Each structure stands twice: as structure tokens, then as C-alpha cells.
Structure 1
Amino acid sequence: MHSSRRQFLGTFATATAALAFAPRLLSADEPKPRKLGLALCGLGNYSNGELAPALLETANVKLVAAITGTRAKGEKLAASHGFPTANIYGYGDWDKIAANKDIDVVYVVTPPGIHAQNVIAAFGAGKHVICEKPMANTVAECDAMIAAGQKAGKRLAIGYRLHYDPYHQELVRLAKTQEFGPFLKISSANGYTLRRKSWRIEKKLAGGGALLDMGIYSLQACCMAANANPVAVTAKELPKTQPELFVEVEQALECRLEFANGAVADVWSGYDANRAELEATAAKGWFKGARPVFSYRGLNVSTSAKGKLDFGVFRQQQRHMDAVCAAIRDGGEFTCTAQVGRRDMVIIEGIYESIKTGKKVELKYA
């Protein structure tokens, strides 16, 4: 009896969550809502390989402009997405971007070290903004970005695609409903082997090493599993196997997050091994993810109740941009807020402070 009731509640919660992210059905004579116009700011691998293809599938937003230092990249996107080449801008063309009323949203996909200047410029041009993760290099930069958005009366979302990934939504559901009880033991690892020079290991552009690039996924997942923000962190940098390459930033680190309810989360992040793991354990069940648990597609996730999960084929970026842009257009809410992006930078600064001092750091979010 109790088991059947738990199964019913779990099924009901899953269906309710699915409906929350399902598009509203329109009557036959009701016009479709307008698609917002989006400009990609920065045309690197992620923009060209993931965001641009996803924007061919989105229902609530379309690509109408490009902001780039390489005009040929913009011309390629203009041809594939059908916008005029007049809508290809340089990074200093914010006055022209402001005058283009087809652009509602700017998606900033430049290195983190210049996120703040691009986001603030986009707000100055009167546009809403999606900013790729990590939000910035420092908490102070996050505060400046949030203030600029408030001054402009525009909204800021962070490119946390996994907020709209159904596998991670299942983790959130389990944490909120406590179907298995609270997840009190959590562990995660995320990283890959980096063997060549890259802007990702330049402190000015990247803000740090693997933590800001890869470890941030683990931090997000641990907060999802705990359904809370950590209150303290202890961290240590691991020995460098390529000290000649990792001069400015860490190659790998470990940290432990502590939560107010007694939950702990152990996290590894590095550029010296190919890892992607997540495990959250409660008294009555578990959630496990193995490579590629944080990737763009084909996630490998299981739970003690349902075994291996399969949510079919979809683009995380399409789900993310559609949800954010529908909320912007319709005055709704989204979960990948600037406040969540700032929270993550508070945690990251705490991790680096713990490494520097060798002490536990109490995390303060105010």
C-alpha cells in the first residue's frame, strides 16, 4: 500500500514537472507567440557547434544577429539562419546593436574574463542577456552585472543548460520531494585531459583553471542534490603533472562542501583526467551519473527506483533557450538566474581562499 502510494506520488510529481516545461497549447485561431530575436556575442566552438544548431529548432527565439571579431563567421551564420549581413556587428558596435529593434536578447559566449564588459554593454544597448557560465571571474563582477540589468530594466539569465535537462530535473525532483530521504552523501568529479595552451588556462580570461570550466557543473549538481547552498568549504590543490603548462591556474583540485543539514559533497575538478561522475545517496535510494553525465547528449544516469533513465533525443541548448526566452517574453520565471550564477562564484572564491589559507571557509552569500 505504502509502496503504491509512493509510486503514485513519484509519477504525479514527474508528470507535474513535465507539464511545467511543456509548451502551452494554442487554439486553432490563436496566433502563435512572437519569437524573440537573439544575437550571439562570440562565435567560438560552442556558439557554432551547439547554440546555432539549437536555434534552428527553438520555438520561442530565433537567431537574428551575430557579434564577432571575424566577419566570415557571421556571414556563415547569416546564410544558415536567414538574417541579413547588415546584422553582423563587431564588439564595439553597441550603438548600432541598440538601434536594431529585431534584437531582444544578446547571448554572451565570450571568455569569462570579458563577460562583465559584454553583459553590461548589452544592457546599455537595451537588451536582455543570457550569459554563458561561469557568470564572471569574481563576485564583484557579478554584482556589477546584476546592477546594470536592474538599471536597464532588463533580465539576466545564465547559460546553465542542465537546469532544463530532464536527467538533472529528476535529481532536483528527488531532492525536493525527498522520495529517498535527503541526499546526505554526495560526490562528483568532472574534467578532461588538457595538453596544450589555451585561453582556459590564462587567469585573466578564464578566472581560474578546471574549476570554472568543468568543476562548476559538479558544484551545480551538488547544490541540486542537497536542495540547498553549501555553508562551508575546505579545498586543496593537487600536484601538477604539467607545471610548465599550468603556470597561472590550478590543474586539478579537490574540495568538500558542507551543508546546514549535515550533508557533505566531495568534488574533484581537473585537466589531468577524463572524468564525469555524480552520486547522491540517501537512506532509501540513490541517484548516479557516469560519463557522460554532464555532456550535451547521451547522458548516463540511473536511480535506485527506476534503473537507467532514458528521456530520448533532444538538445539541452534548445530547451534552455526556449524556456528562458519564453519567460522573458511572457513575464515568467526561469531557474538559471543571475543570483544562482553569483552563488556559484561565491563558492568558487571560497574554494580558492581555502586553498590559499589551508583553512575551512564559511560561505557568505549576502
Structure 2
Amino acid sequence: MKSRRDFLQKITVTAFSIPLVSSLTPGVLARSTSFEKNDKVLRVAMMGLGSYANRVADAMKDCKRAKITGVISGTPTKIKDWQSRFNIPAKNCYNYGNFDAILNNPDIDAVYITTPNALHHSQCLRVAAAGKHVICEKPMAINAKEGREMIEACKKAGVQLLIGYRMHFEANTKEVVRMRRDGEFGKIMFFQGLSGFIIGDPTQWRLNYELAGGGAMMDIGIYSINGARYMIGEDPIWVTAQEVKTDPVKFKEGVDETITFQMGFPSGAIASCLSTYSMNYLDKFYLNGIKGFAEMQPSTGYGPIKSATHKGRLDLPHVTHQTTQMDEMAAIILDGKIPMIPVDGEEGWKDMVIIDAIFEAVKTGKKVEIKYV
């Protein structure tokens, strides 16, 4: 595969040849939102039917406000399987070449994009042009420029753009953020984020620069970036970063294996983080303030999240993250609900601005000032 453009052309040609397939606090419940049976339901088409799409779809079986009503895929056998599992009619099944036709499909309100990172931008623009809301997995794009174009396209089309930040709805995470906002930790001084695992199959798309736009930082390091922002409650204004690569065959040019990075915030707080594809058991957040602390390990895994503060353990009840996420996103789109921690396009764009700065810091070896423009 010579370039991203080659891939996009290849997938489009292939797609056109595929026919349509026939046929919060301790003591309260983890899911604080109650939904009435007569509330409107968000009808969602899943785009890209890989492992994560399956995880989301299975979790949505327990949703009260969201349901799977359509699919978009380049693989006919996957479409057939999903039709059977979720009772999806043939008229709601599309491929990558013809999904613009969702414009005329009243059974679909939103499209959840779970394809490789490099495809998010073009697919988001097409979904927005079709008048459907966009839910896009993180990272929202491969750089901040693409992210901004996605935001503007959705604004122009009058649809919402939400990013799949499932942790923003997780009970332990929300409780720690509440405590920080209420001043229970005092002035925040330091955050540590450790995000990593040993990646397997060397041929997967996550290790292909043309599809992933990077390596571990795009996939797992973004959790520490985003976590630092919502735990501290600020956006960083500078970053320094260092890269270590022990296997240049597996981790080719542009595909980062391990990056350590440091961020500075307007209040003076600092963050020290690690993103890696070559070490296991790295899923930890630690927040330090002058009056107390919070720690979470695991902090962003599928759960249950384990958490504690200077006041004792939290470990609030576990609910499948994607179930809560999709019910809450339905409330955002259908009811105008404002989430405790943002999940809109601007939130995703800020993470891309920071990732761009981290890559620049790695390349130059210099401290990079971050400007959100």
C-alpha cells in the first residue's frame, strides 16, 4: 500500500462493487440519568463493523435511548451477520460507495464511525452532507486540521459531531472530576498518566501509518492526554516529548512505539505521561493537589474502574461504558443535554492539537507552545 490516497481509491472501488445485502457520587447508582419508556430513541447506523463496533453494538442491547437500525460496511458477510443479529432490514444496509443515500433514510438519525483513523475525516464529511449526526471514534482525525474541517462541515450541515469519549460518562471518573471542581483536592499540582500495552499482530491497521496516522499515541496515548485535561480541568499550554523505538521493523517510520511527554497548564500544574505499544499493565491516572489526591487503576480500560482518593476508596458500580455512553449521547443529540465533561468536536480537536504538538516536540527536541487556533 503506497499511500493513503491509494487505499482510499481502492476501498471506494471495492465498495462500489458490493451490492446491498438483502434481508456519582458514592451511594448513588452509576448511571445517574433515568430515561422514560416513552422518550425518543436515537437510531444509529454503525460504520465499520470491526471488533470495537461489535463491542458498542452488544452494549447497546441494554440501552434505553439508542438502538442499531443500520450498518455501513465493505464486507457483505459482516452485513449479513449484523442483519441477523440486530434485525436490520436490507434498505438500511450500505457499503462505502453508496452510503450517501442515507440522506433519504428516515430510519437513521446518526452514524457511528469506527473505521481506521485516516478514514474518519472523509467519512464524517459525507455523513454530515447527508444530514445525519456524527459520532466518531477517537482520535477524531489524524491531525488538528482535519478535525477542524470535520467540525465546520457538521456546523454547516446543522448536525452534531460527538467523539467517542466513553470515560466522560463513567461514574468513578465523574466523581473524581466533581471532587476536583468542588475544591476537595485543593490547588492541583500534578497529574500522571500511564497508557500502554503490548500490541500484537504486526500487520494490523494500527501499525500502518497510512491508516492510523501514527502509532501508540493515536490509539492509547490519547487517553492520558484527554485524562490530564479533564482531571486537571485545564488545557495544556506547552509540551515536551521524547520517543523511544526498540523495534523499527514492527514500528516503521511515523509509527511511534513509546513516547514520554510532559505538559504544562495555565495554573502551573504539570503532567508527566507515557504512551506505549511495548509494555503491559499501564493503565493508571494519578492526580495530586495540595489538599488531597485521586488515583485510578485501571483508569480507562473497559472496566471495572478501580479508584481511590485521600478520603478512601470509590469503586463505584460498574455499568458497561458503551451502554452509558450511547444513552447519554442520545440525550445530548435528542434532548440538548449538556454533559458534565464535553464530548463534542471541539473536545476532540483539542486532543488533536496536543498530539500535533507532541509529534513536533519529538521531531525537534524542543519545548512546543500550544495554541488552540
Same fold (TM over 0.5): yes
* Higher RCO (C-alpha under 8 Å, 6+ residues apart): 2
- Counterpart of 1:32 (choices 29, 38, 41) is 38
Does the Cα contact within 8 Å between 1:255 and 1:267 map onto a contact in 2?
yes
**Is 1:237 equivalent to 2:243 in the alignment?**
yes
**Partner of residue 326, structure 2:** 321
- Counterpart of 1:140 (choices 142, 145, 149) is 145
**Partner of residue 293, structure 1:** 299
Question: Could you tell me which amino acid in structure 1 is paired with residue 133 of structure 2?
Answer: H
Which runs of no fewer than 5 residues in structure 2 stay unpaired? 1-23
Residue 161 to residue 19, structure 1, CA distance change in 2 (3 Å) = closer
Matches within 5 A, 1:210-249: 210-238=216-244, 240-248=245-253, 249=255
- Counterpart of 2:290 (choices 283, 286, 308) is 283
Which runs of no fewer than 5 residues in structure 1 stay unpaired? 1-12
Deviation at residue 17 of structure 1 after TM alignment: 9.7
- Counterpart of 1:22 (choices 33, 42, 59) is 33
TM-superposition CA deviations, 1:194-247 (whole Å, max 9, x none): 243221122221111101100111111111121000010011112x22111111
**Partner of residue 8, structure 1:** none
SS in 1 for 2:61: coil
SS in 1 for 2:159: coil
TM-superposition CA deviations, 1:166-218 (whole Å, max 9, x none): 11112211221121212211111111112432211222211111011001111
Question: Could you tell me which amino acid in structure 1 is paired with residue 155 of structure 2?
Answer: Q
Does the Cα contact within 8 Å between 2:191 and 2:286 map onto a contact in 1?
yes
**Partner of residue 205, structure 2:** 199
- Counterpart of 2:309 (choices 300, 303, 307) is 303
Does the Cα contact within 8 Å between 1:120 and 1:145 map onto a contact in 2?
yes
Q: Which whole-Å CA distance do the structure 2 matches of 1:19 and 1:244 have between them?
A: 44
Does the Cα contact within 8 Å between 1:56 and 1:81 map onto a contact in 2?
no
SS in 1 for 2:25: helix
Does the Cα contact within 8 Å between 2:171 and 2:317 map onto a contact in 1?
no
Kindly tell me the number of residue pairs found equivalent between the two proteins: 345
**Partner of residue 64, structure 2:** 59
SS in 2 for 1:333: coil
**Partner of residue 181, structure 2:** 176
Q: Which whole-Å CA distance do the structure 2 matches of 1:327 and 1:16 have between them?
A: 25
Moved more, 87-96 or 107-116: 87-96
Question: Could you tell me which amino acid in structure 2 is paired with residue 364 of structure 1?
Answer: K
SS in 2 for 1:103: coil
**Partner of residue 264, structure 2:** 258
Q: Which whole-Å CA distance do the structure 2 matches of 1:310 and 1:273 have between them?
A: 25
Residue 235 to residue 319, structure 1, CA distance change in 2 (3 Å) = same
SS in 2 for 1:346: helix
RMSD: 1.8
**Partner of residue 360, structure 2:** 353
SS in 2 for 1:86: helix
Q: Which whole-Å CA distance do the structure 2 matches of 1:85 and 1:182 have between them?
A: 56
TM-score (norm 2): 0.89
Q: Which whole-Å CA distance do the structure 2 matches of 1:301 and 1:78 have between them?
A: 39
Deviation at residue 280 of structure 1 after TM alignment: 0.7
Q: Which whole-Å CA distance do the structure 2 matches of 1:55 and 1:289 have between them?
A: 26
Q: Which whole-Å CA distance do the structure 1 matches of 2:29 and 2:135 have between them?
A: 23
Deviation at residue 19 of structure 1 after TM alignment: 10
TM-superposition CA deviations, 1:319-351 (whole Å, max 9, x none): 111111112112333420100100000100010
**Is 1:149 equivalent to 2:135 in the alignment?**
no
SS in 2 for 1:14: coil
TM-score (norm 1): 0.90
**Is 1:100 equivalent to 2:105 in the alignment?**
yes
Q: Which runs of 4+ in 1 moved over 6 A?
A: 15-20
Q: Which whole-Å CA distance do the structure 2 matches of 1:157 and 1:177 have between them?
A: 27
Does the Cα contact within 8 Å between 2:72 and 2:94 map onto a contact in 1?
yes
Q: Which whole-Å CA distance do the structure 2 matches of 1:201 and 1:318 have between them?
A: 29
Residue 182 to residue 99, structure 1, CA distance change in 2 (3 Å) = same
Moved more, 90-99 or 279-288: 90-99
**Partner of residue 4, structure 2:** none
Deviation at residue 260 of structure 1 after TM alignment: 1.0
Does the Cα contact within 8 Å between 1:75 and 1:88 map onto a contact in 2?
no
Deviation at residue 311 of structure 1 after TM alignment: 2.1
Deviation at residue 97 of structure 1 after TM alignment: 1.5
**Is 1:82 equivalent to 2:93 in the alignment?**
no
- Counterpart of 1:209 (choices 210, 215, 221) is 215
Q: Which whole-Å CA distance do the structure 2 matches of 1:65 and 1:71 have between them?
A: 14
Give % identity.
36
**Is 1:270 equivalent to 2:281 in the alignment?**
no
Does the Cα contact within 8 Å between 1:75 and 1:85 map onto a contact in 2?
no
SS in 1 for 2:82: helix
Does the Cα contact within 8 Å between 1:52 and 1:63 map onto a contact in 2?
yes
Deviation at residue 20 of structure 1 after TM alignment: 9.5
Does the Cα contact within 8 Å between 2:239 and 2:261 map onto a contact in 1?
yes
Does the Cα contact within 8 Å between 2:72 and 2:95 map onto a contact in 1?
yes
